[in-house]
């Protein structure tokens, strides 16, 4: 077996030891057989990582199966381990994943349509990451030995992939823990560095972390303008021009909105900011890898990117910071001066490399993905809007198709989510899904509280299938009908009563 194969096997087995340990004593033999396989683990470093992981799994599976049969005298496929799984599913990691996937198809796991909250990691990304969890563990900032050099080299490659995806120079990419940190870093960093400028412009529909960073700066004495949006979710450029003052340091407008998916006119905003001489920051977490992004063409000075929204790992993100003309920021985190002194702290090589690989794949497949997502979204959107009393939130044209936000009048969003237990959905952003407040983004569009309470966001991504969309369409149609039958508002509307004429008792 090659060294890579060993590394991958070690990693895979390590993960398996997780669920094999708390067994009941009744099944001692089987348990021993399963745990025994976890014993002869090995540690080895590897230089080559080109070996195909599939071969490794096949080999793994053969060895595990014969070991199991020797110990227990039973075929793994005959041993039920609960949850409709046989021990066969545990014989190799990929086999287990496949087994789970079939169960998902049977509907015991909900269909995932919440791609704005997070995306599943592409298996190719995991393949790229695994060696850096085991053999290649060098600190990328160690300049004195080969361990450090090899990791650093891989990180530079990853940085290049990310830069290429957004049309930047690799030196302009600073790794952070995620888009939230990047947003904090950009907004607070620019404001605190250029102390003479005390004003920031942002919009009302920004992500919570942008709004909260601004609120924080407000407490420090900065002035913030929260730009209202039009009823289609887009900002008014003329109004933006009016709001920019001589002491404005930064304009922060997100590229793709996380709740309604509208794309702001980036090129125009960039041009305006350049003309006025203010920095332009954009939260590109929902845009990068999904729509073509070009920081040069858009004149973007700072951009926040997230790893887990582009089918990469969670816990990693990046901040693009323009070098020409140079944007300077006051770093949030001080320390060893890594990342050009803008974000100290040792990088996490597996995450960085996974993020880089995710961006490489995104760059390669962006056209294909976009076409596919558009086709699926059109199918879903036209199906949903064909139902009576449904409206699409946000502009119909300037939008990323993978985010479909629809209001179902006279049905409460939360109860619809509960009725759609077989579909993983959200009524707004994941950050605010715990509170009962209607979405502030929809409120900013000027929609009534009623319609904000009855909206649901459908997120479509790379791994969504046509069959899933059809299932969801049918499920939504059925459940909305049931809930409307149960809704007193629907009854009143059917009777021809105008709901606005009723005096409601407020709570």
Partner 1 sequence: MRKICLPPLVLQKIIPSKTTDHYNNPRNVGSLPKNDMDVGTGLVGAPACGDVMKLQIRVDKNTNTISEVKFKTFGCGSAIASSSYLTELVRGMSLEDAGRIRNTEIAKELCLPPVKLHCSMLAEDAIKSAIKDYQTKSNRGPPTLGKNLL
- Looking at 288-296, 364-372, 385-393, 410-418, which segment touches partner 1 (CB under 8 A)? 410-418
* Helix/strand/coil (H/E/C) assignment for every residue in 132-201: HCCCCCCCCCCCCCHHHHHHHHHHHHHHHHHHHHHCCCHHHEEEECCHHHHHHHHHHHHHHHCCCCCEEE
Q: What does the alpha-carbon distance between residue 385 and residue 101 come to, in Å, rounded to a whole number?
A: 30
Residues 83-142 within binding reach of partner 1 (CB under 8 A): 83, 85, 89, 96, 100, 103, 108-109
Query: Minimum Å distance from CB 393 to partner 1?
Result: 17
- Looking at 165-173, 374-382, 472-480, 498-506, which segment touches partner 1 (CB under 8 A)? 498-506
Backbone φ, ψ for residue 332 (5° rounding): -75, -40
- Looking at 54-62, 78-86, 352-360, 472-480, which segment touches partner 1 (CB under 8 A)? 78-86
> Is residue 278 a contact partner of residue 249, using CB atoms and an 8 Å limit?
yes
Binding mask 25-64 for partner 1 (x = CB under 8 A): -xx--xx---------------------------------
Element (H, E) at 457: strand 455-459
Query: Minimum Å distance from CB 454 to partner 1?
Result: 8
Residues 206-245 within binding reach of partner 1 (CB under 8 A): none
- Cα–Cα distances (Å) from 145 to 53, 128, 138, 150, 229, in that order, read 29, 22, 9, 9, 54
Nearer to partner 1, 43 or 436 (CB): 436
Q: Which of 386, 384, 363, 366 is nearest to 374 (CA)?
A: 366
Residues linked to residue 283 through DSSP beta bridges, in sequence order: 304
Q: Which of 163, 162, 206 is nearest to 186 (CA)?
A: 206
Give the one residue of 80, 156, 241, 364 binding partner 1; rule: CB under 8 A: 80
Q: Is 415 in the site for partner 1 (CB under 8 A)?
A: yes
Query: Minimum Å distance from CB 482 to partner 1?
Result: 9
Query: Minimum Å distance from CB 113 to partner 1?
Result: 17
What's the gap between Cα 171 and its chain centre? 24
Through-space distance between the first and last CA atoms of the chain, rounded to whole angstroms: 69
Give the one residue of 48, 50, 144, 436 binding partner 1; rule: CB under 8 A: 436
User: Exposure string (b/e) for 123-147, b if CB count within 10 Å is 16 or more?
Assistant: eebbbbbbbbebbbebebbeeeeeb
Nearer to partner 1, 107 or 337 (CB): 107
What's the gap between Cα 138 and its chain centre? 28
Q: Is 504 in the site for partner 1 (CB under 8 A)?
A: yes
Measured at the CA of 244, the angle between CA 243 and CA 246, to 5 degrees, comes to 130
Residues 243-302 within binding reach of partner 1 (CB under 8 A): none
DSSP structure class, residue 100: H
DSSP string, 195-233: TT--EEEEETTS-HHHHHHHHHHHHTT-EEEEE-B-TTS
Measured at the CA of 378, the angle between CA 375 and CA 383, to 5 degrees, comes to 135
Q: Which of 76, 105, 72 is nearest to 89 (CA)?
A: 76
Nearer to partner 1, 27 or 237 (CB): 27
Q: Is 496 in the site for partner 1 (CB under 8 A)?
A: no
> Is residue 252 a contact partner of residue 226, using CB atoms and an 8 Å limit?
no
Query: Minimum Å distance from CB 231 to partner 1?
Result: 18
Binding mask 472-491 for partner 1 (x = CB under 8 A): -------------xxxxxxx
Nearer to partner 1, 84 or 328 (CB): 84
Query: Minimum Å distance from CB 314 to partner 1?
Result: 20
Q: Is 24 in the site for partner 1 (CB under 8 A)?
A: yes
Tokens 């004495």 appear where?
221
| HSE toward the beta carbon, residue 165, CA cutoff 13 A | 34
Backbone φ, ψ for residue 318 (5° rounding): -150, 160
Nearer to partner 1, 20 or 278 (CB): 20
Query: Minimum Å distance from CB 279 to partner 1?
Result: 39
Residues 347-366 within binding reach of partner 1 (CB under 8 A): none
Nearer to partner 1, 5 or 452 (CB): 452
Nearer to partner 1, 306 or 447 (CB): 447
Q: Which of 136, 52, 125 is nearest to 354 (CA)?
A: 125
Query: Minimum Å distance from CB 441 to partner 1?
Result: 16
Q: Is 505 in the site for partner 1 (CB under 8 A)?
A: yes
Q: Is 78 in the site for partner 1 (CB under 8 A)?
A: yes
- Looking at 118-126, 172-180, 307-315, 409-417, which segment touches partner 1 (CB under 8 A)? 409-417
- Looking at 158-166, 206-214, 246-254, 442-450, which segment touches partner 1 (CB under 8 A)? 442-450
Query: Active-site residue among 10, 42, 209, 431?
Result: 431
Is 10 considered catalytic here? Answer: no
Q: What does the alpha-carbon distance between residue 458 and residue 175 come to, in Å, rounded to a whole number?
A: 30
Query: Minimum Å distance from CB 62 to partner 1?
Result: 22
Query: Minimum Å distance from CB 504 to partner 1?
Result: 3
Give the one residue of 239, 412, 431, 440 binding partner 1; rule: CB under 8 A: 412
Backbone φ, ψ for residue 136 (5° rounding): -95, 75
So which residues are the catalytic ones? 431
Residues that bind partner 1 (CB under 8 A): 19-20, 22-24, 26-27, 30-31, 74, 78-83, 85, 89, 96, 100, 103, 108-109, 410-412, 414-415, 418, 436, 438, 448-450, 453, 485-491, 499, 502, 504-507
């Amino acid at each position: 077996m090659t060294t890579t194969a060993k590394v991958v096997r070690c990693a895979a087995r390590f993960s398996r030891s997780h669920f094999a340990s708390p067994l009941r004593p009744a099944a001692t033999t089987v348990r021993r057989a399963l745990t025994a396989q976890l014993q002869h683990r090995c540690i080895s470093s590897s230089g080559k990582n080109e070996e195909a992981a599939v071969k490794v799994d096949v080999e793994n599976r053969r060895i595990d199966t014969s070991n199991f049969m020797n110990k227990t005298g039973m075929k793994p496929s005959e041993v039920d381990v609960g949850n409709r799984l046989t021990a066969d599913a545990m014989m190799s990691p990929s086999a287990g994943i496949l087994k789970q996937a079939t169960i998902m198809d049977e509907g015991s796991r909900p269909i995932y349509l919440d791609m704005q909250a997070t995306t599943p990691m592409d298996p190719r990304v995991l393949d790229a990451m695994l060696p850096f969890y085991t053999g290649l563990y060098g600190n990328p900032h160690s300049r004195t030995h080969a361990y450090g050099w090899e990791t650093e080299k891989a990180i530079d490659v990853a940085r290049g992939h990310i830069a290429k995806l957004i049309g930047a120079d690799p030196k302009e990419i600073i790794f952070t823990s995620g888009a939230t940190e990047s947003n904090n870093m950009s907004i607070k960093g620019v404001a605190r560095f250029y102390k003479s400028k005390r004003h920031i412009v942002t919009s009302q529909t920004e992500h919570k972390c942008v709004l909260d960073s601004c609120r924080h700066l407000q407490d420090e004495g900065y002035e913030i303008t929260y730009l209202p949006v039009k009823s289609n979710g887009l900002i008014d450029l003329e109004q933006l021009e009016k709001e920019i003052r001589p002491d404005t340091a930064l304009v922060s407008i997100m590229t793709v909105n996380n709740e309604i998916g509208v794309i702001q006119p980036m090129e125009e905003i960039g041009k305006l900011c350049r003309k006025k001489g203010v920095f332009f920051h954009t939260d590109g977490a929902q845009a990068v890898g999904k729509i073509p992004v070009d920081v040069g063409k858009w004149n973007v000075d700072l951009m926040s990117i997230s790893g887990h929204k582009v089918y990469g790992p969670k816990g990693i993100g990046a901040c693009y910071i323009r070098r020409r003309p140079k944007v300077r920021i006051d770093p949030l985190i001080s320390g060893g001066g890594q990342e050009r002194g803008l974000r100290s702290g040792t990088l996490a090589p597996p995450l960085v490399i996974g993020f880089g690989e995710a961006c490489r794949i995104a760059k390669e497949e962006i056209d294909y993905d976009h076409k596919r997502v558009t086709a699926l979204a059109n199918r879903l959107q036209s199906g949903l809007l064909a139902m009576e009393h449904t409206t699409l939130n946000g502009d119909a044209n300037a939008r990323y198709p993978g985010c479909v936000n629809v209001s179902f009048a006279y049905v409460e969003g939360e109860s619809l989510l509960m009725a759609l237990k077989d579909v993983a959905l959200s009524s707004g952003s994941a950050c605010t899904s715990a509170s009962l407040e209607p979405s502030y983004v929809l409120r900013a569009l000027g929609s009534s509280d009623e319609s904000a309470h009855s909206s649901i966001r459908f997120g479509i991504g790379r791994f969504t299938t046509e069959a899933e969309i059809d299932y969801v369409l049918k499920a939504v149609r059925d459940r909305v009908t049931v809930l409307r039958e149960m809704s007193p508002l629907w009854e009143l509307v059917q009777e021809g009563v105008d709901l606005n004429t009723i005096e409601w008792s407020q709570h």
